[in-house]
Copies of this chain bind each other. A is one copy, B any other.
Amino acid sequence: MPNPPTGFVPGINLASAQQIAEAALAKGRALNLAPLTVVVLDQAAQPKLVMREDGASLLRFDVAAGKAFGCLALGFGGREMARRAAKMPGFMNAFSDLCAGRAVPVPGGVLVRDASGNVLGAVGISGDASDQDEVCAVAGIEAAGMIPDTGDPE
């Protein structure tokens, strides 16, 4: 893939989003997790692909989308979002109100970056424990040849 010119950042196309979601769900099945919902948001935080497994509880789309939205909104992976929610509850409460509750600051929200570090979108997964959700998001992003940013140092 040629480098984009300055200020031009390639997004996640639908084919890549499908690769991410299918690999993430395959990981969830391999680990025998609870039913997962995968949301792939593009750079503008709009849904590119959503898959909700049978048996997922009612609001899992909103929670998964919220994990991904929060990452894009502030530019951190979900683990850093969770740290800030713990360290700076006043800010995160205000931020939650600011975006009408659309940001969910927990692991399982993972930024999608290219090799140069550009943000291409974000993946949010909800359904099992947050750590397990995150494992699946990372597996999906890597399967599609992109770089996951969970909010933890590598």
Contacts and interface: CB of A to CB of B under 8 A. Distances in A.
A8 B7 contact: no
Nearest to A103: B94
Contact of A54 (B14, B72, B100): B14
Contacts of A101: 94-100
Interface residues of A, number: 66
A106 interface: yes
Interface in A1-43: 1-2, 4-14, 16, 18, 42-43
Given A49-B51, A50-B47, A50-B50, A94 B98 contact: no
Copies per complex?
4
A145 interface: no
B95 A104 contact: yes
Give the most central of A55, A97, A101: most B CB within 10 Å: A97
13 contacts: A5-B10, A14-B54, A46-B60, A47-B52, A49-B51, A57-B74, A63-B95, A66-B98, A90-B105, A90-B106, A92-B94, A96-B97, A98-B104
Nearest 3 CB-CB pairs, A to B? A7-B13, A57-B75, A97-B101
